[in-house]
Amino acid sequence: MRILVAEDDPVIALGLAERLRRLGHEPLGPEPDGKRAVARARQGDAELYLFDIDMPELDGLAAAEALSREGLRRPVVAITGVRDPGLIDRSIATGVGAYLTKPIDDMELDAAIRLAAARHAEFLALEGEVDRAHQALEDRKLVERAKGLLMQALEISEPEAFARIQRAARNRNLRLADVARAIIEQRDIIERPDQPRRSAPRQRTTPDITEDG
């Protein structure tokens, strides 16, 4: 794993980089302050951030927050030389995956990296579920609205309106929501069955749901 290290103490920074190599990771940096860490992270190749909290210019937690806002959110392991419950609370609020107090040994560092990576993966999975749930709700709203338009325009029942949307989606390999959106956006394709056909119908760009087949 490529891990970006930010630590203002050069001796500790080199020690962290060496520990990461022993654990099979590729250290990036080390960077001596939060601002440089943010600039280095913008290259986009880091897979995890190992940030000291107490750094000049921009502390590690603030740097992690800034990167998250820029769309460069990664698993974060925060390290500090002080035992301060307030820092722990702030780390949790920032979304830090693991928290270490110096001095740090290889086993603690390895465990923290694994924990941060696992928590980050869980967060992304949960975030994806929320997004999918939101999309499903929006799709359902589209279908309900399209059914209403068909029921009113064609004087058909709700099951028949839904069946027509289903057939159009199946025949054209589209999502139900895509067909519903087309119905809503181009209502002029909804014609009454008893209306006479035009001698030269215009080219349809949306599913024809007025036919039974």
| The predicted structure's pLDDT at residue 52 | 95
SS3 content of the chain, % helix, strand, coil (to 5): 55, 10, 35
Number of helices and strands in the chain (H, E): 7, 5
Residues 6+ apart with CB under 8 A from 40: 4, 28, 29, 31, 46
99 shares a domain with 14: yes
Q: At 88, is the pLDDT very low, low, confident or very high (cuts 50, 70, 90)? A: confident
100 shares a domain with 134: no
Indicate whether 118 belongs to any domain.
Answer: no
Indicate whether 156 belongs to any domain.
Answer: yes
Tokens, residue 93 = 């609020």
Termini Cα distance of the chain: 55
Indicate whether 209 belongs to any domain.
Answer: no
Instruction: Write the DSSP symbol of residue 197.
Output: P
85 shares a domain with 42: yes
pLDDT per residue over 153-184, tens digit each? Answer: 888 988 888 889 989 999 999 999 999 999 98
Q: At 210, is the pLDDT very low, low, confident or very high (cuts 50, 70, 90)? A: low
Q: Please tell me the distance from the alpha carbon of residue 23 to that of residue 7, in angstroms, as a whole number.
A: 19
More confident residue, 14 or 196: 14
Indicate whether 212 belongs to any domain.
Answer: no
Does the pLDDT of residue 188 top 90, yes or no?
no
| The predicted structure's pLDDT at residue 128 | 85
Q: Please tell me the distance from the alpha carbon of residue 59 to that of residue 78, in angstroms, as a whole number.
A: 10
CATH of the domain at 143: 1.10.10.10
**Residue 119: exposed, middle, or buried by beta-carbon count in 10 A (0-12, 13-18, 19+)?**
middle
69 shares a domain with 10: yes
135 shares a domain with 96: no
Q: At 81, is the pLDDT very low, low, confident or very high (cuts 50, 70, 90)? A: confident
| The predicted structure's pLDDT at residue 30 | 96
Residues 6+ apart with CB under 8 A from 20: 3, 5, 26, 27, 50, 109
How many structural domains are present in the chain? Answer: 2
pLDDT per residue over 97-151, tens digit each? Answer: 999 999 899 999 999 999 999 989 988 888 888 888 888 888 988 898 898 898 8
Domain boundary at 69, 104, 139, which?
A: 104
| The predicted structure's pLDDT at residue 204 | 45
Pairing outcome for strands 48-52 and 26-31: unpaired
The overall average pLDDT reported for the chain is 86
Does the pLDDT of residue 197 top 50, yes or no?
no
92 shares a domain with 7: yes
Distances (CA, A) of 65 to 15, 80, 99: 25, 17, 15
Domain boundary at 70, 104, 138, which?
A: 104
44 Rama sector, left if φ>0, alpha if ψ -120 to 50, beta otherwise: left
The domain containing residue 57 runs over which residues? Answer: 2-104
92 shares a domain with 11: yes
CATH of the domain at 40: 3.40.50.2300
| The predicted structure's pLDDT at residue 82 | 80
